[in-house]
Structure 1
Amino acid sequence: MQAWIVNHFALTPDQPGGTRHIELAKQLAEQGIDVTIVGAGQQHISDRNHVPAGRAWHRDMVQGVRFHWVATPSSSPKYSARIWNNIVFASSIAARRGLKDLPRPDVIVGTSPDLMSAFAAYLTAKVFGAPFVLEIRDIWPQSAVEIGLFSRHHPFILALSQLEKFLYRNADWIVTLLPLAHKHIIPRGGDAQRITWVPNGFTIGEQAFEVDETKRVPKNFTLMYAGSHGNANNLESLLEAARILKSRGLHETLEIKLIGDGPNKDALRQQAIEMELDFVGFEPAVPKNEIGAILSQADAFCIVFHGHSVYRHGISANKLYDYLAVGRPIIIALDSEYNPVVEASAGIAIGPDQPSALADAIQKLMQTPDDERREMGVRARTYAVKNHSMKFLGNRFAEVLQRVCDRHAESRD
C-alpha cells in the first residue's frame, strides 16, 4: 500500500518538536505500507528551510522514511505571513508539485491544524480516486480563537469553520488525537462510525534516560518544562508559582528549567528577571533525537495549560508522553475529563490558572521521599509503554488505513 501523509508542519528528528509521523511511518512500513510525508520546506515551527534555493521541491530519506518538501515562503511571527505560507503550501499540494513521479497513492492523509492543506490533500485524493483520511491533531479553528490568536468573528476564522465542517462531512475516515473530540466533530457533520482515536505517543525511542550524577547539584530539586513557549502553554503561571515558592524560602534547593523556544520566550525571560527568579533558567530547544538525555536530568516535570474549554476534548501534547516515558513524576494543570497523569497515578493534577495550587504541588513533590517519587516514575513509564508506544499506535493507524482502503475498494466494486 502507498500512503501519503500531508502535514504542513512536518519535522525530522534532528529538529525540536513533534515527530509523530516519521515514527508512525516506520511502524507502518512493518505492515507493508510505504509512506511519503509531504511537508512545507519552511514554516514558523521549523528551524530551517528543507528546499535548496531556486528549487520548487526537494526529497529526502530520513531513517528510511521518504520526505517530500515543497518550497514555501518564509513564515515570520506575523500571522499574515503564516497564512500566506499555508496558502502557498496548500496550492502546491493541489498542483501535486514534484509529486507526479511517485507511485500512485492508495490512501491520502491530511492533517490539521492547517485545514487548507488538509483540503488540498482531499482534492488530491479525489484526483487519484483514493480514500481521504482526515487527522485532527488540534481542534481548529476553535483552538485559535480560545488561545486569543483571532476573534471568532474574523473572516479567516469564519472561512476555516466552514472548511472544517466540509472536511468532517467528506472524509472517508477521521483519526483524532483527542479522545473526546467526537463530541465536537459529530455535531459538525462527522460520522460517529468513522472516527478512531489514535493518540500521540512518546517519540524519544530508546534514548538513554540515565542521569549523569557528575552534572547534578545534589541539594537541588530540578523541575523541568520542555516544549513551546507560546500562548497555549501557561508558563506565566509557572513563574508566578516560582515567585510564591521563593517567598516561602524554597528556592534555595529548587531549580526550574524551561527548555524550548516560542513567541513568548523573551517576555517570559524578562518577567523572570523582574521577579528576581534567579533559580529559573531558560535554555534553547533541543532536537528530538537528543531530548531524552536532557529530560533524564529532571526530578519532575510540569505541564501547565490555561483553562480554555477546548481542553475538555482532551490533550495531545507531545511533551507529555515523552515525560511519561522518561519515568518521572509530573505536575499537570488541566481541566479535562481525560488526564493521562491521573490515569497513570504518575504525579499531581491541579486545576488551570492557579499559581498558588501549582506552588503547593511543586512544594509537595520536593518534600516527597525519593522512593515515592521513583514509584510515580515507574508508573509513568509503565503507562507510556502500554498505551503510547509508537509500535502500538502504528498498528492502530495501520488498521485504520487498511480498513478505509478495503471499504473504498468494496464501494467501487
Structure 2
Amino acid sequence: MILTACLLASGCAGGDEPEPAGDQGKEAVPHGYVEGAQEAAEQQSRLVMADAATGTVRVLDLVTGDTATLGAVGPVTDVTTDGRFAYLATGTGTEIVDSGAWTVDHGDHVHYYRAKIRRAGRAEGPGPVRAHSDPAVTALSFGDGSVRLFDREALEDARPGAGRALPDATAPVIPYGEHLVVPGTGAAHDRVEIRDRDGKPVSSPDETCPEPRGTALTRRGAVLGCADGALLISENSGAFTARKIPYGTSVAPAERAVDFRHRAGSTTLAARAGRNAVWILDVTGLRWKRIETGPVVAVNTAGEGTPLLALGADGHLSAHDPATGKRTVRTPLLPPASRGPAPVIEVDTSRAYVNDPAGRKVYEIDFNDRLRRARTFSLDFTPSHMVETGR
C-alpha cells in the first residue's frame, strides 16, 4: 500500500459535499487539522536523549539539526516512546516529554505533524516502562507489573493526571482495534484477553502466551513475545483472532526474544537471542530466523528489503542479509561496550541512528550505502538513553 502525505494546501478531500447553511461564509477547517501543530510534507523525526547520571534531557530535531534543552529530571534508568511522547523512568516516577513530532496514519494516507517540544507531566510507577497508544488511550506498563491507562487528549494537553489502573494485568498492554490486548491473565498467567477501553473483558483467544515479555504493534496486528514463540493478535471488523508463531525448536530462556526492535508499523522484527545471536521475526510469513552475529549489544531493522543492523560488543556496526544471515558489511563505530546503559539503534525508512555515550555523539547511518556515516551530531552531554519519535 502506497502512503501519501496530505498537505494542508490540498487536504485529503473526500468529495464535493455542500457546506451546511450555517457554515456558509466560514473558513473551512482543513482535513487533519490539529490545533497548535504544523502539518508537514514528510516525517518529522526527533531524538529524545537523556543523561543517565544527571537526568539532563535534550531533544534533537533531525530535520533542522537544532537541539532543545528541557532541563534535568533526575537520574534516568530507562526511556521508551509511543511514537510521540518519551517516558523517562527515574527513581521517583516516570517523567513524560512531548517531543512535538508525530504521524497519524489513516491507512490510505498519513499526516505528519510538528509542534512545540515540552515537558508533559509525570506518571507514578517504577521503571522500566513500556508504552503503547492509540488515538484515545495510552497504556503505560510499569516495572512492578502494574498498568495504568491515560486519556490521550489529556496527555496531549500536558495534563495526564493519575491515570486509571487496569486490574488483573501483569504484562505490557497494547491498545489495538479500539480495544485493549491484555496478556498475562488467567490462573497460569498465560491467557490473553481482549478488553474494551473500560477494561471489561470481551473475548479471549484459544491460543496462549506463556511468560509474555516483548511487544510490538505492526500493520498485521499486535505481537506478543512468549516462552514458546510469538502470538499475533489481528483484528478485522471488530473480530479478533490469534495465531501462534512457534520458534520451531527448543529455546533456552536466556535466548528468547523479549525486546522487539523495528521501524514503526513494519512487519519485520528484530530481537537479541541471548548474547551472541539475533532473532528475525517475519510477521507476514509467520516464521522466525536465527542469525549468528557474535556478541551483540543492540539490533534493529527497517523492514522488508533492508538489512539487519547489529552493534557488536566490540563497537563495530554490522549489516546482515536477513534472508541468508550473511554479514555484508562491518565498520568500526563506537568504543567497546562498557558499564552503563547499552547504546541503541533507532531506524526510519532510510537512516539509522546510534548513540555514542562515551564520545558524546549521535551518528546518522545510511544503511543502504554500506553503513556510511551521513551525519555526526556532537553533543554537550552524555546521551546514555535515546529514542526516536515522529512515527
TM-score range, shorter chain: under 0.3
The two structures have a TM-score, normalised by structure 2, of 0.28
More strand as a share of residues: 2
Q: Determine which structure has greater relative contact order: mean sequence separation of CA pairs < 8 Å that are 6+ residues apart, divided by chain length.
A: 1
More helix as a share of residues: 1
The two structures have a TM-score, normalised by structure 1, of 0.27
